[in-house]
Structure 1
Amino acid sequence: MKHLNKIASILCGAAFGILAITSCEGGDLYGVNSPSWISQKIDSIENSKKSNEEVLVGMQEDVYTIGKSDYTSGWWSSFSKYYVVPNGQKWNAVLNLNLNSSDDTYYKNFAIIITNDVDRGGAGYQEYGAYRFDATGDSAKYNSQWGKYLYFKYTNSTQLLAPDANNKDANVQKLGGKVTITVDRTSSNAFKIKITNGTVTKTYEQPYKLPNLNADASDTNIRCFLVPEGSYIDFLQTNIVPIGGLTSAKDKAPVSMVLQNVPDEVTRGTALDKAMSNISAEVTYEEGVKKVIPASELYISAIPDMDVPGEKNLVVIYNKTFKGENAAKPIIAYAKFNVVNSIASIKITTAPTRSHYYFFNSAATSGLTDRTLAFDPTGMEVTATYADGSSAVIDNSKLKFSSVPASAGTYNVTVSTANGKTDNVSVSVSESESAFVTPNPSNLGATDNTGAWWSVFTDNIKVPAGKTYVVSFTNYSSMAGNWNNFVTILRNSVNKEYAVVRSDNYGWGDGYAASRNSGGQADWASWLAAMNGANVTVYVTNCNNGTADVQAVMKGTNGKTYVQYYLGVNTIDVNDLCFAFTIDSCHLVFKSTASSKSAFYHKG
């Protein structure tokens, strides 16, 4: 971290080497008369120096950032420019892929979306498919590409990931760094995609051309754009000028910056350097180009000084251009934080509002041995006693809580501070009572499975705190994609969503990220075929701790039983949890309470 009293240093050095080795026979310096083994060695060395990297022609600088630099961009939330690739041409792009080093989720990288020549979501918009950088040894279980016109059998990768039950694989970090993309339409008998960073290379080689999905047959263009998820992209170069034009290659002055990861509190006696070692600044330059600057390149100070407890003003200065030259005008950002005395002890002075939680076991979860429930601190007050003898209530967001086993009993939850001071609070856990319900309408979606995504819904069904509601239905699918099956929506009575979860191990919403899911199916193709006519039972539990569980047991037409669950969906108002169903090229026929009981499975 830099301070205003800069220290300048100059490092210099020189290295020289002389090699003069003669042959045994004539004193030649590795000449034509040298022994054959020497010539072979020379050839080997020279060949090793040759780069296997593709030579890119006509590249132009196009510098901008896609996605949030704090790695919080969800799927389909941030997009690159459109790059239009005419028939017979090739698109090359160079970028830096920034991955979250603390999140090894295998799919959190980026995808190339290939579409017809229409704006995203516009009239007539169609996708050939999406092609993500990751690849696994089981493409049927873990989708790394999808779409009606991209086929797994034409894909190869030099790095196959093997995600665990939580979708984690540390090898996903190998996908980061400088990445080159090639979308190749130059052959009349093939279509190719290549993504490589020199360490990992993923290729798609289809032995025929793409069909033309444009309404105007004379328009043979396709479009490509990039979508990150849980990552961000610093785009650098392209050989095709995008719609909207290039971001110029000239150096750019800093315009503004936003500070990130500034701590709310700093313990008295902590040096400023140490207290702010994890901050960074997202700097915006001319033309809207952005870059994240680490603490080590920022000038910082605190006003007033850090010796006395109280609110402080953090002043951060940055004075470099996009290319690292001294800027004509530095930029300044401000933030506030508090210096506090060290906590000597804590005590829970007001118990939480809710201390009785509920769980439900279906066939989807009966085999879990490590299932837990989240502690709900709502209404709880924790008072800290500081080193100087003073005391104050601590914000619950600054505390950590141990988890609660999802089994009947009474448990002590440990409440702890950042410096390790603890207290305990007791909670009880019971098995949830269940009740069958039938949604309205009892038939949802067109019977020919042509119903559009998010076009029809059942009425909301409100789930009381501590209860589990059970719904049974027959699921009919177009079988065009894994997502063309039932979808469960968790929301409140005015339709504000907590989460949306699908039948195929995917979801979104404010509460979805915290949930634990069961992972995908071992054989997606067999599962999808068996879902057209499958008997499905869905269980929705209001756990009375600000979370909800969704469990699904699917008995396929092949006689096999499949399961899917999403446990611990949070941000739930325990007094206002509703659920409903929607469809996507499928239709659902709900069963009455009486006829559902034979499908009901419960294990306490």
Structure 2
Amino acid sequence: MKIRNKLIRRALYATVFAAFGLVGCEQSDRYLIDAPSDLQDRIDSIADANASKDTGDTTYINISTSLVGQEDYSSGWWADFSDYFTIPTNKLLHLEFINHNGGSENNWNNWNLAVTNEVADRDGDGYAEYFVLRSDAYGWGGGMADIDERYAFDLNMVSHDYPDTDGDGDIWNDFRATMDGATVSIDIDHSATGNVFVTATAVGTNGTTITETYHQGVSASDDITAFLICDASYFEMNTAYLIPSKVTVVEDVSPISIEVTGTPKFVEIGNEDFWGDGVATVTFADGSSAEVDTADVSFSVIPDMTTLGEKTVAVAYSKTKQGNYGPAVTTSYTLEVTNAVTSLEITTMPEMTIYAFYGTESPAFDPAGLVVTATYSDGSTGILENSTLEFEIPLVAGDQNATVSYVGATGTVSTTLPLTIVEGTSQVGAIDFSTAWWTEFSDDYAVASGESKVITMYCYSNEVNNWHSPCTILRKADNAEYGVVRMDNFGWGAGYEGIATATNDWNFDVFASNLNGSKVVITVTNNGDNTADINYDVTYATGEVHFQKYEGIEVDSSDLNCALVIEGAYVVITE
């Protein structure tokens, strides 16, 4: 018996030493052995420590979430994420993973990269994004641009070399094929120059190698954070490590052009402000552009604001991208100096005359179509630019008068504008159109078998994209999704793709430009046969009527709920 126990101890010690020897190399792979659980825990802890150890210039990072996203491609946008990776200044983060898109026909169903401030908590106070970059050479900026204009996202700085490998004139079908199962490496270089440089290289199983790059300004001193986001995709994370930054000097570039917008068309005599709400945008030699500080803009021709008539203003800017002085770029604009305004008259009503509100926030007035005629002190008349007017909408339901005002050099003159005000029962999205995708939702509405749910709302949109309009989610009570459909003839989900039928009568050339102020009635019908239909009946502010319909979405008729989600817009639900 003693001999047998001794042999067991020797065998166990040999197993431990063999395991220690295996994890002593610089790779971060785990080694599983047939041993008691406490022994495996000890080996795992050594592997974790080894993965995050500093080996000279390289600091390996342990990856906690090795499989990011659902392998059945059911991960919705902003639902499944990689670990947070902190990148100190003067460090480069290198990530390697296998990308899977399941053969999707959508370019964006691959990896997505978020670069944020040092607050490594998406739901934490102070969290803000520098940008989100997609693998299909697209992206957008975040809240850090509100803190410092140097942190603004610039789509012009995204470059790629995606080839048309099959010669059919379409690079994107080749891109999607290459990305499914591709080995991807992404370098996020946080340079001490106050810039971040992203280089993403994908090697497809088809042998094709593709590269995407992007760079923009970030904090030169504070840490930044990076993480990956799934969108009907998933990733197998392999490697993460930090090395010293490869960028110590950024080449300066000169401005090549300047554009001025937002300057006044008319200015009352006696008012010396010829710039008003003007914005100067400079384009640099590297293709980037940025709004520049008005303090850095000079005026080589200053108008005489004490006499009537048309005036010319010459504008110049002479700083490089890094703020050094060099050759100037110039442009000019004109304005009219007029007599004092003594009265206003509404000569053409605006397109939008119905406004819905919820709570105490007043909706933004849309002056599209509005014509206001001014009478001047000399008895002459002229049409005022709507940008020079101020509007106040009363938050009282019913037929009301909004106030339209012109603030002149000598005083303020006003008139009234009849509107219909509707008080809503709830609201989805922010009035300033800042709501990001998949961040704000309506209540869930249960739809019983054989019944319909009708949701009536007014949509207010920044009108930048077609999808800045209400989207409808069909899901179970536990939030498992059947599908998501947009107002602009697009949808996805297990119950939709290749199953449902979509029809509409849109004119997509003017779809986005008619979103603001539209009345939208969404009807979700539970057919009782494990299918559902969704109908959008839309009335533009102009009175023009259109529809979008989805038929035959597969659901469980005994467990059907619907909800709304919004992006770049908001809706006021009235019933």
TM-score interval (norm. to shorter): 0.3 to 0.5
Structure with larger RCO (C-alpha < 8 A, sep 6+): 1
TM-score (norm 1): 0.42
TM-score (norm 2): 0.44
